[in-house]
Each structure stands twice: as C-alpha cells, then as structure tokens.
Amino acid sequence: MREEYILDEPNPQFNKYFEFSGIFPGSAPLVIEIKDYDDLFGDDLIGKTSIDLDDRFFSAAWQALDEKPIEQRQLYHHSTSLSQGCVNCWVEIEESSKVKNKHKTWNITPEPVLDYQVRVCVMETRNIPLEDIEGTSDVFMKVYIDDKNKKTTDTHYRCQNGEASFNYRMLFDLKAPSKVNNH
C-alpha cells in the first residue's frame, strides 16, 4: 500500500481488506508493518506486529467465534521496548472450500462524519469548599470538550456558603466520529 500513503495524519484510517492463502499447520506468521513514507531517503519502519496464525487456527475458543473480534495490536520497533502505537484489525481463517462457496463481504468503509450539538445546562453548585483566606470562594465553571472550544460561566465573587446559581446553557458544535478520539 506504499502508494496509498496518508500525509501528515497521526491517526490514519486505511480501511483495507487483504486476502492470503496458507497451509495449516506450518503457516508463517502474519506480519503487519507500519512505515513512515519518505520520498527521498527510503521509508522508515514505525513499528510492526506479528500474529501467529497457527495459534489461531488450532484454538477451539477462537474457531468457535462466528465473527472474529477487532483487535488492537501494539506496534513495536526493534530499537525500543516501548509501543510505537497500535493498529486495529481482525483476522479470519477460512477453509478454501468455504471461501469459494460462501464469500463474506464486509463493509469496512469508515462511518460518515455527522454534525452534532451538545447542550450542557449548568444550574447550581453545592458544598463548594471555601478556599480564600476570608472563608469565601470565587465560584465559576469552565466547560469544554476539547482545548479549542472552552466556555465559562460568570463568577460568583465571595461566595460564603458554597452555593452558586448559574442557570447557564452552553452549546457545543462537534463532528462525530472525531479523529481526535479514534484510537
């Protein structure tokens, strides 16, 4: 997939389906490598993961699953023992005779990004600690979903009983699924 690189994206979504043939027992491990595309000096390995297909094929528990689970596989580089990220994938192993007669089709296109509005109603506070030296607090609230979209209420100065009334309604426009939270 070298020619289908995704430029300047820390969380790329490839959404690709690959099919291979193998013989059991003795199938080679499935290796997934993620590389940094470089036009001039050669591509650098970010990390890789290896899946033991024999272990899957001969596992009764894994074979019993009709739909295989999506796995989050850690990516490792030989220069460090720390994970270099992860890749989400799933692996199915089917007998060749089943594949010819009944081929499953999977829709792996990404979910469409939709617009949403989040409404937060801030009504009142109770039992706020009185932190100032005079035994009062200046109470306000900051509400945010991400660092770009922060909203604050007004400030109730010198609150003496830990109770403040706001009656605020805050609106946040957002898109989901969000690339920020895709892991």
Amino acid at 75: L
- In the chain, pLDDT over 90 holds for what percent of residues? 47
Is the pLDDT reported for residue 3 higher than 70?
Answer: yes
Q: Give whole-number Cα distances, 34 to 20, 86, 108, 124, in Å.
A: 19, 9, 19, 50
Tens of pLDDT, residue by residue over 24-44, are 899 889 999 999 998 888 899
Q: Which domains does the chain have, with CATH numbers?
A: 2-101 (no CATH), 114-176 (2.60.40.150)
Query: Could you give the CA distance from residue 32 to residue 91 in angstroms, rounded to a whole number?
Result: 12
Amino acid at 2: R
Amino acid at 71: E
Amino acid at 99: V
DSSP assigned state of 102: S
Chain-centroid distance of CA 47 in Å reads: 17
Stated as kind and residue range, the H or E segment containing 120 is: strand 114-125
Tens of pLDDT, residue by residue over 62-85, are 889 888 899 999 999 999 999 999
